[in-house]
């Protein structure tokens, strides 16, 4: 007994603590993962999750997003998107995860092969977005580098300028409004230094008619709130409100949306850790039909 005790005492303290820590992590439920519901795609729920928490408590290599075929701890009907992902990467990440999941679930493909196929889908989307952005810029007439009240922030700019290398991707169309992701740094450098996170055509003269701009530095978690703020602000300006009043009212309404969506996320159950945490080969249990 004494001999065993001596041997035990020779083991470094960190080696004794680490296995206990891992066991406790495996046994307990991880809560507060979900940040925001982000709609559905192809029948799957999109959830923006706390990426830092996932990396700290579950899987240190979690980046951009994940699906249940790759990560066994993700519920089968969900696609996770890291809240650190920017608006410009969001659609590419969603498409990547759906493609990867389908190939692993329907074809039994390895993660590596499915991942490579999903990257090819991303590249196609990226090239299409750049081509569409460049085409759009050639069709836009000259614009004034000023806000709606005529104020300008770069004195040496001419009265009218071309928009070049500003657009990044068309995010979506809402009725007659086009929502574009733009290079926010370029806008602040070359057009209007006070451009912050988003804007619309009734607030800035340099934004073409019926467009909303979303800064590409906006996080995917903030994107929908930015869009809704611009849509509501624009609506109030059309009703005759001043920009300041329209903006203030829009922020109040969007804040209510934030609270409501946060309540939905907080109701989500925690995640019980599985072993192993990942698959190297898909289940192939959804048949051989190609996605």
pLDDT of residue 27: 55
- Lookup result for tokens 């451009």: 195
How do residues 51-91 score in pLDDT, each as one tens digit? 999 999 999 999 999 999 999 999 999 999 999 999 999 99
Determine the pLDDT at residue 289.
52
Cis before 276 (ω within 30): yes
pLDDT given for residue 6 in this prediction:
34
Residue 25 pLDDT > 80, yes or no? no
Residue 42 CB burial class (10 angstroms; 0-12, 13-18, ≥19): exposed
Per-domain residue ranges of the chain: 30-139, 147-265
185 token code pair = 């740094």
The mean of the pLDDT values for the chain is 91
* E strand spans, the chain: 29-30, 34-41, 44-49, 65-67, 78-82, 167-174, 177-182, 198-200, 211-215, 271-272
21 Cβ contact partners less than 8 Å away, ≥ 6 residues apart: none
pLDDT of 181 higher than 90: yes
pLDDT in tens, 242-255: 999 999 999 999 99
Residue 15's pLDDT band (cuts 50, 70, 90): very low
């Amino acid at each position: 007994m004494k001999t065993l005790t001596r041997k035990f005492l020779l083991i470094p303290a960190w080696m004794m603590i680490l296995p206990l820590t891992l066991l406790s992590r495996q046994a307990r439920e991880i809560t507060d993962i979900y940040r925001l519901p982000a709609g559905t795609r192809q029948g799957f729920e999109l959830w923006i999750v706390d990426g830092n928490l996932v990396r700290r408590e579950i899987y240190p290599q979690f980046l951009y997003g994940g699906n249940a075929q790759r990560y066994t701890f993700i519920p089968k009907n969900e696609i996770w998107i890291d809240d650190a992902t920017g608006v410009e990467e969001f659609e590419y990440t969603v498409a990547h995860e759906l493609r990867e999941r389908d190939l692993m679930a329907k074809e039994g493909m390895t993660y590596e092969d499915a991942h490579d196929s999903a990257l090819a889908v991303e590249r196609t989307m990226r090239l299409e977005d750049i081509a569409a952005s460049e085409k759009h810029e050639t069709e836009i007439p000259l614009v004034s580098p000023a806000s709606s009240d005529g104020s300008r922030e770069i004195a040496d700019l001419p009265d009218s300028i071309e928009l070049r290398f500003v657009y990044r991707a068309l995010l979506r169309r809402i009725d007659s409004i086009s929502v574009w992701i733009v290079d926010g740094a370029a806008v602040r450098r070359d057009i209007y230094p006070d451009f912050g996170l988003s804007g619309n055509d009734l607030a800035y003269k340099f934004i073409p008619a019926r467009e909303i701009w979303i800064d590409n530095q906006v996080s995917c978690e903030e994107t929908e709130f930015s869009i809704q703020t611009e849509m509501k602000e624009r609506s109030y300006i059309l009703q005759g409100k001043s920009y300041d009043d329209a903006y203030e009212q829009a922020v109040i309404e969007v804040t209510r949306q934030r609270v409501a969506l946060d309540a939905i996320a907080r109701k989500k159950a925690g995640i019980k850790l599985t072993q192993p945490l990942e698959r190297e080969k898909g289940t192939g249990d959804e048949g051989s039909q190609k996605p």
